[in-house]
Amino acid sequence: MQPLTPPENQPAITLAEKMKAWFHWLFVVLLAVAFALVFAANGRSLELPGRPGWPEALLILLATMSTITALARQLALQNVLLAAFVIALMGGAIHALGVTTGIPFGPFLFGAEAGPQLFKTLPWAMPLIWVVAILNSRGVVRLILRPWRKIRSYGFWLIGLTALLTMLFDLAFDPFASRVKHYWLWVPTKFPLTWQGAPLVNFLSWVAVALLMLAFVTPALINKNPARRAPDFHPLAVWLGAILLFGIASAEHGMWMSVMLDGAIAVLAATFAIRGGRW
């Protein structure tokens, strides 16, 4: 027989859950406002005061916070923060290595538009982009695999497909970052095969780095007290919102190959995630 929870502990647990939910929905609302500001500013339909680029910076911060608070409603907050910290640390370190040596992504340079740099090497937003990409890709894959969550190989499928979806996220993100916003510039190489100026090794490296990160953080993201929950579509909303932003910006700059690819990625991910989530 399981020991009963002391009555005096129940209000504290309920209050903690209510606080998590309150902060989560606050960040969701603010994130929606930030999305609207970025779309309006990029579409030239709204002239915003202040330095250029601050809506995008606000969007990255709120996307990170809403991602963390959404996941904290399912897992212990300390586990979520640990996973986010490890992803940010590893992603930042590998990107710092990349801009210094050209390994593993290929030779590139960060532009001034990327914002203030940590240690004069790494833009402050790059670690947060990794957190948003990895955790929301994993959330989308959990929706896709929901009908098969009880099979023995579920964990391996979750890790592998998360790495693949992270690469697809970068496939849509890179033209936006390098050719629209000029956050970084790819240095030409002898290899002729590129995607919108980015060497193909960049996308293979995103898969490898994502797999490495997931090997470290997956133990912290396993729910030790599994229970049947309603599907969480927040990661899908954030993931698709980002792809939509990248696609619209690419269309405004006449990069129609990127637009078509972004549309295909969004439709496939949404179709399989919604189908799995309704299971």
Domain ranges of the chain: 75-277
Q: What is the pLDDT of residue 126?
A: 96
Q: What is the pLDDT of residue 228?
A: 67
pLDDT by residue, tens only, the chain of 279 residues: 444 444 444 444 566 677 767 766 677 777 777 777 776 666 555 566 556 678 888 899 999 999 999 999 889 999 999 999 999 999 999 999 999 999 999 999 999 999 999 988 999 999 999 999 999 999 999 999 999 988 999 999 999 999 999 999 999 999 999 999 999 999 988 777 899 999 999 999 999 999 999 999 999 999 877 666 788 899 999 999 999 999 989 998 999 999 999 999 999 999 999 999 988
What's the Cα-to-Cα distance from 74 to each of 67, 221, 225, rounded to whole Å? Answer: 12, 9, 10
